[in-house]
């Protein structure tokens, strides 16, 4: 294969395909590690930066994920001009810069700089996501795309399980429970000194993350990852050529809203669960494992998807089952509040329904993506960037939850999930079939 040659998936040898899938899996692991550590950053910043209310603390997810809305179209243009490899390298280097911004933010205990760092991390990640999702979708038959996306999801969520636990192991100490309880009784000087020491614990881990991301970017640039594009993109006579805009594909536009609601439900189930557990009387060191429980449930769903799709059920059927389960588990979380002792945690049963949302959410992304990308031809990259814009649901939905929780209580905030799952159910049964705006 000559350097710089653009291939179709059919041109790749089995070895090239395996290497490509492996490289993309590593990327999905990085996506998960950087993204899901936010679950513990939210309560950590709330203490160390003395944040008021849930809305202010959920600016962590807003700053990180709003970059997907702002940067997905520029990311698609960047990939179009540079190709996958140079674009991916650029994404990693931008992420590295974002991680390194945590150093001055921690030295000054400045929440605003942390948010800029998170936005920069998200900007780099939006480039990587815009490249990786269509790439893995076309590396094989369309009918098994959900299986490949499930494998990528396992890599992503495994990192998500590890991220909050590793972060907690590095920055939290056994004496922190007593420290958190004593903060309210300290004088201002002692309190400021304690909080400065607490926030500066992030300097070393994020310096390491910044360095690793920089090295990964350089490694990708010189890796054997091939430049590929779909045969449909190369064929000027493809069926989509009569279309003039990506907005003329209703199933893609509606799919972007489906992605918006899906990722919103997913990030709420993971990033709010620590605060929900704290509302039941647990401390941060005690509650830190709950995001990992949710992500373990998600991995369980991925494994079921790999085992059952497409030999037993179609990816469309899996999507329908998962969206229905999401609504069922949400109703359980809203209505069942008996206190139970399970896995050593004396909490309400409702929190375990939030954990089970990880299972319900597991195959939704993998189900939506191939349905929304079907038949786009030369609009494939634009369709991908439109779907990636839907990831801004990660930014906006937690703010909606935080607003409801501040106005009512932590449990009532989960009502925001109900209309989301209703829309996802509709898209899985009807919405993806709409191919024209003329009804």
More confident site: 59 or 172: 59
Model confidence at 310: pLDDT above 70? yes
What pLDDT does 178 receive? 87
What pLDDT does 236 receive? 40
What pLDDT does 258 receive? 97
Instruction: Supply the mean pLDDT for the chain.
Output: 87
Q: Dump pLDDT digits (tens) for 140-167.
A: 676 666 677 778 888 888 888 888 889 8
Model confidence at 199: pLDDT above 50? yes
More confident site: 230 or 74: 74
Percent of the chain with pLDDT over 90: 45
> Residues 280-287: what's their mean pLDDT?
88
What pLDDT does 369 receive? 85
What pLDDT does 9 receive? 62
> Residues 315-329: what's their mean pLDDT?
95
What pLDDT does 435 receive? 86
Distances (CA, A) of 11 to 50, 166, 203, 277: 56, 41, 45, 51
Whole-model pTM: value is: 0.79
User: Minimal CA–CA distance to 88: which of 216, 1, 211?
Assistant: 216
User: Domain spanning 12-227+245-433: which CATH class is it, in words?
Assistant: mainly alpha
Q: How confident is the model at residue 115 (pLDDT cuts 50, 70, 90)?
A: very high
More confident site: 389 or 228: 389
Tokens of 333: 């979380």
> Highest mean pLDDT range out of 62-76, 170-184, 233-247, 389-403?
389-403
> Residues 316-342: what's their mean pLDDT?
94
Domain extents in the chain:
12-227+245-433
What pLDDT does 35 receive? 86
What pLDDT does 228 receive? 64
What pLDDT does 39 receive? 83
Q: Is there a contact between 232 and 240 (Cβ–Cβ < 8 Å)?
A: yes
Q: Dump pLDDT digits (tens) for 44-61.
A: 999 999 998 888 999 998
> Residues 427-432: what's their mean pLDDT?
95
What pLDDT does 143 receive? 66
What pLDDT does 359 receive? 95
Model confidence at 375: pLDDT above 90? no
Ranges 69-78, 251-260, 283-292: which has the least confidence:
69-78
């Amino acid at each position: 294969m000559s350097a710089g040659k653009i291939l179709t998936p059919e041109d790749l040898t089995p070895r090239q395909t395996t290497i490509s899938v492996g490289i993309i899996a590593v990327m999905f692991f990085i996506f998960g590690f950087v993204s899901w550590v936010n679950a513990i950053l939210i309560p950590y910043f709330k203490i160390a930066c003395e944040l008021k209310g849930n809305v202010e603390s959920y600016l962590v997810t807003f700053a990180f994920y709003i970059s997907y809305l702002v940067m997905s179209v520029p990311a698609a243009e960047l990939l179009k001009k540079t190709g996958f490899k140079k674009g991916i390298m650029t994404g990693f280097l931008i992420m590295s810069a974002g991680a390194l911004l945590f150093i001055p933010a921690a030295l000054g205990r400045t929440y605003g700089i942390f948010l800029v760092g998170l936005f920069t991390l998200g900007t780099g990640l939006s480039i990587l996501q815009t490249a990786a999702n269509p790439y893995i979708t076309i590396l094989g038959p369309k009918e098994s795309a959900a299986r490949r996306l499930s494998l990528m999801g396992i890599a992503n969520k495994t990192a998500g399980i590890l991220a909050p636990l590793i972060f907690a192991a590095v920055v939290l100490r056994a004496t922190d429970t007593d420290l958190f309880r004593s903060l309210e009784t300290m004088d201002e000087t002692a309190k400021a000194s304690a909080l400065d020491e607490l926030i500066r614990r992030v300097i070393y881990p994020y310096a390491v993350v910044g360095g690793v991301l920089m090295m990964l970017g350089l490694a990708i640039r010189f890796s054997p990852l091939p430049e590929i594009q779909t045969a449909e993109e190369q064929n000027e006579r493809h069926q989509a050529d009569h279309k003039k805009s990506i907005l003329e594909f209703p199933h893609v536009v509606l799919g972007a809203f489906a992605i918006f609601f899906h990722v919103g439900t997913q990030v709420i189930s993971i990033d709010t669960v620590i605060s929900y557990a704290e509302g039941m009387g647990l401390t941060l060191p005690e509650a830190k494992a709950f995001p990992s429980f949710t992500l373990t449930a998600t991995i369980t769903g991925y494994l079921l998807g790999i085992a059952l799709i497409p030999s037993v059920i179609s990816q469309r059927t899996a999507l329908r089952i998962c969206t229905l389960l999401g609504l069922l588990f949400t109703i359980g979380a809203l209505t069942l509040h008996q206190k139970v002792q399970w896995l050593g945690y004396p909490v309400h049963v409702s929190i375990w329904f939030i954990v089970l949302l990880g299972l319900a959410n597991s195959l939704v992304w993998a189900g939506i993506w191939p349905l929304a990308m079907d038949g786009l031809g030369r609009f494939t990259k634009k369709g991908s960037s439109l779907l990636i814009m839907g990831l801004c649901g990660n930014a906006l939905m937690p703010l909606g939850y935080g607003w409801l929780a501040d106005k009512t209580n932590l449990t009532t905030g989960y009502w925001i999930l109900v209309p989301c799952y209703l829309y996802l159910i509709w898209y899985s049964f009807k919405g993806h079939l709409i191919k024209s705006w003329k009804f």
